[in-house]
Amino acid sequence: MLRLRRSMVVLLIICLGIMVLSACSSKKSNEPGSSEGAASESSASASQEENKGDGKKIEIKYWRHDFAPEVDAIKKLIKTFEEKNPNVTVKMEVIPYGDYETKIRTALAAGSPPDIIGLDGPTLAAYAHQDAVIPLDKYMDMDGNKEDIAAPVLESLTYKGKIYAAPLNDASIGMFYNKKLFEKNGIELPSKDPQQAWTWDQVLKAAQKINDPANKIYGIDPGWGLGEGEGSTFVKLPFIWQAGGEILSPDGTQVKGFLDSPESKKGLAFFSSLYNEYKVAAKELPPEAFETGKLGIIVNGPWAISGFATSHPEFKLGEDWDIAPLWKDAKQVTPNGSWNMAITKGSKHPDEAWMFVNWVTGVEGAKVWYQETKNLPARLSTASAFPELSEYPMNIFVEQSSKFAHPRPVTPAYPVVTSSISKLFADIGVANRDIDEAVDEAVNTIDRALQKIK
């Protein structure tokens, strides 16, 4: 009796143990699915011909992450597109930002991806390297007006000489500051001229004057806190570039001698000093600290202008806060690159998919996109079509992205790069680790990932 019971308990334990794994493995059973995907691919061109022939409706699936103003803009563009192309319908699926990459990746792994996916700039090389998305060069040459796309943007979308995505918009960041806190502490306001960016030293001095932790007022949040995520890496990388450092070699194959160069370390040391030596940056901030007047200086992008206007209408641009160009050190550098549209290899209708991609990201679509979302345009024709883009505050972002933009490294190992970089900044910021030691660890992790690609 006792033995039997014991063996039952052992069985129970094994089953529960299995549950540890099944949580992770439930999405992995994809081998039959993927062979199916390959089969449907080979017949793709055939079915496409058929569809054109008998005038059947073609459905294009498009997945993107959730962000209300952009989703609304896409809905409008889908409507006009379907009016113009009655034989094609576009089905958009909107996925919460946090789940987006995982959902796309599992769909690709299962061999049932949508035709078009929203692609964040730096993940492009990983998708291209794994043949998950198709090169768009032939379409770009046909009717994509690629000479109209800003050169640094195009560069960030090119992997091994081929263009893999069409840009929805570009992105840049500036120094957002609380005007009232500056005036209260008698600090001279920074210039709005992109050529007159503040130096690190000026930023530090201002932050020191504002910082008043006893009254819960903090000087600066230099890079969106110390958490993980691509947004966080995007705003932190400039510290390394501004000091004259680099993450990877220009061809994206080497990390040793770049991330661990004295210049890179200088940028990291400055970032760390804000938290640990001068203590002008807080390791933890209340939510919406800047909008509620508890934070002197932050970095943010043009998307935040309308964001603050809706969430905190009492916090007014020009009265309570203003935008200055992003600070500089040895060099003036700003990050660039944003979300794009790419066509998956599994798509059965790549030609129709391109028609829609070009409808949204082409010369005319980009103008609608700008009007609806106020995102920094990736096309030169859009930039010149709207006078407000050459006025404050948008002129700061436009000028920065054409003169000082630096694309993030293009490498299939980027997922490892971004997580190592955010870990590195957290190590030296919040954990106050020795910089050499933390850099060595990041370099080793990235190096191992780069070796795997070759």
Partner 1 sequence: MKFPVSFSRQEERAAYLFILPAVISLALFTFYPMINAFIISFKEYSLINPDSTFIGLTNYKDLLADPKFISSLVHSFHFALVVIPVQTIIALVMALLVYKSSLVSGLFRTAYFMPVVIAMGVASTLFKLIYNKDFGLLNSLLHSVGLPQVAFLSDTKLAMYGIMLLAMWKSAGFFMIVFVAGLNSIPSDLYEAAEVDGATRLQKFFKITLPLLKRTMTFIIIITTMDAIKISGPVFILTAGGPADSTTTSVYFIYKMAFQQMEMGYGSAAAFILFVIVMFISIIQLRLLKSDVEY
Interface positions with partner 1 (CB under 8 A): 6, 9-10, 13-18, 20-26, 28-31, 34-35, 37-38, 101-102, 105-106, 108-109, 111, 126-127, 130-132, 216, 226-229, 282-287, 415-416, 419, 423, 426-427, 429-431, 433, 441, 445, 448-449, 452
Shortest gap between Cβ of 199 and partner 1 (angstroms)?
28
Return the number of the residue (80 or 311) whose C-beta is nearest partner 1.
311
Shortest gap between Cβ of 331 and partner 1 (angstroms)?
28
Return the number of the residue (44 or 285) whose C-beta is nearest partner 1.
285
Contact criterion met (CB below 8 Å) for 260 and 246:
no
Q: Which amino acid is at 283?
A: K
Return the number of the residue (105 or 180) whose C-beta is nearest partner 1.
105
Shortest gap between Cβ of 172 and partner 1 (angstroms)?
25
| Mode of pairing for the β-strands spanning 174-178 and 321-324 | antiparallel
Shortest gap between Cβ of 83 and partner 1 (angstroms)?
34
C-alpha 240/C-alpha 247 separation (Å) is 8
Return the number of the residue (302 or 409) whose C-beta is nearest partner 1.
409
Shortest gap between Cβ of 125 and partner 1 (angstroms)?
12
Contact criterion met (CB below 8 Å) for 408 and 338:
no
C-alpha 191/C-alpha 249 separation (Å) is 34
Return the number of the residue (108 or 237) whose C-beta is nearest partner 1.
108
Shortest gap between Cβ of 165 and partner 1 (angstroms)?
15
Q: Which residues contact 341 (CB under 8 A, 6 or more apart)?
A: 62, 116, 117, 118, 119, 165, 166, 168, 357, 360, 361
| Mode of pairing for the β-strands spanning 405-406 and 334-335 | parallel
Q: How many residues does the chain have?
A: 454
Return the number of the residue (227 or 250) whose C-beta is nearest partner 1.
227
| Mode of pairing for the β-strands spanning 166-167 and 58-65 | unpaired
Taking phi over 0 as left and psi of -120 to 50 as alpha, with beta for the rest, 149 belongs to beta
Taking phi over 0 as left and psi of -120 to 50 as alpha, with beta for the rest, 167 belongs to beta
